[in-house]
Amino acid sequence: MTVTNILLSGIVGSTAYGLAREGSDVDRLGMFAAPTEQLHGLHQPKESYVSTAPDRTLHEAAKWCRLALGGNPTVMELVWLPDELYEVRTPLGDELIALRETLLSARRVRDAYLGYATQQFRKLQNRTGGTPSEDTRGRIAKNARHLKRLCTQGYELYSTGRLTIRVDDPESYHRFGEQVADDPEAALPLLRGFEEAFAGTRSVLPEQPDETAADAWLRRVREEFYPAARTTPV
């Protein structure tokens, strides 16, 4: 997969969280700018590129902004990574990192993170029944780790306005995953506890994100990737 005009890219997923073990995949997430001229035609350019081996997802700048403004936990990671996990950084990418707080809103962060965590719990429930195979146990444990991480990171973002990508005490996440693999319903108290924590906490975030900041940044991106007008000889 060859994509040009990459603005920001880095290592995300279990490696970034500190949860990777031997054999874990290395996931990469990035953002690119479509040439501005392509946005004027009848057919819009592709907005996302996803590949495996290596695992890599790239979103066009406008799509990334829309997802981030909606509180999407996956894309949000890209602007909160530790410096050593970035593989591509550009001046425009650094500008976006600098305005990352303006993308946040209390309701959207709460709904997105708790919503994704609830999806993970439903996956746990759907994988119950009978004696689980080792593969099924591994998937349940992985879903459980994601559930705990989403709740923990989402609550931090909601209550402090900051997002720590690397989790504290990674082994506790693996222990939780094994516990839930034995009994998927064991994840429910953690989920309910965080639902109560969100409900009982006044967020430091505004009710709405500052879309004007993202819009101004995106317009600078479009200007950067619009070719100079060609002059015709007289």
CATH of the domain at 69: 3.30.460
**Chain-centre distance of CA 127, in angstroms?**
25
- Amino acid identity of 30? G
Higher pLDDT residue, 3 or 78?
78
Q: Is the pLDDT of residue 140 over 80?
A: yes
For residue 167, being part of any structural domain is answered with yes
Q: What is the tally of structural domains in the chain? A: 2
For residue 216, being part of any structural domain is answered with yes
For residue 231, being part of any structural domain is answered with no
Q: Do 29 and 99 share a domain, yes or no?
A: yes
Q: Do 157 and 193 share a domain, yes or no?
A: yes
For residue 115, being part of any structural domain is answered with yes
pLDDT tens for 92-119 read 999 999 999 999 999 999 999 999 999 9
Rounded Cα distance, 95 and 112, in Å: 24
pTM of the model: 0.89
Contact 32, 109 (CB under 8 A): no
Q: Do 43 and 132 share a domain, yes or no?
A: no
Q: Do 25 and 140 share a domain, yes or no?
A: no
- Amino acid identity of 121? F
Name the one residue in this structure whose structure tokens are 């880095």: 10
Q: Do 20 and 136 share a domain, yes or no?
A: no
Q: Do 192 and 157 share a domain, yes or no?
A: yes
- Taking residues 68-81, what's their average pLDDT? 96
Q: Do 214 and 99 share a domain, yes or no?
A: yes
Contact 140, 127 (CB under 8 A): yes
Q: Do 160 and 216 share a domain, yes or no?
A: no
pLDDT tens for 16-50 read 999 998 878 899 999 999 999 989 888 889 999 99
Q: Do 91 and 154 share a domain, yes or no?
A: no
For residue 229, being part of any structural domain is answered with no
Decide: residue 184, CB within 10 A, 0-12 exposed, 13-18 middle, 19+ buried: buried
Q: Is the pLDDT of residue 172 over 60?
A: yes
For residue 234, being part of any structural domain is answered with no
Domain that holds residue 67: 6-103+210-224
Q: Do 184 and 126 share a domain, yes or no?
A: yes
Q: Do 72 and 57 share a domain, yes or no?
A: yes
pLDDT-derived band at 230, boundaries 50, 70, 90? very low
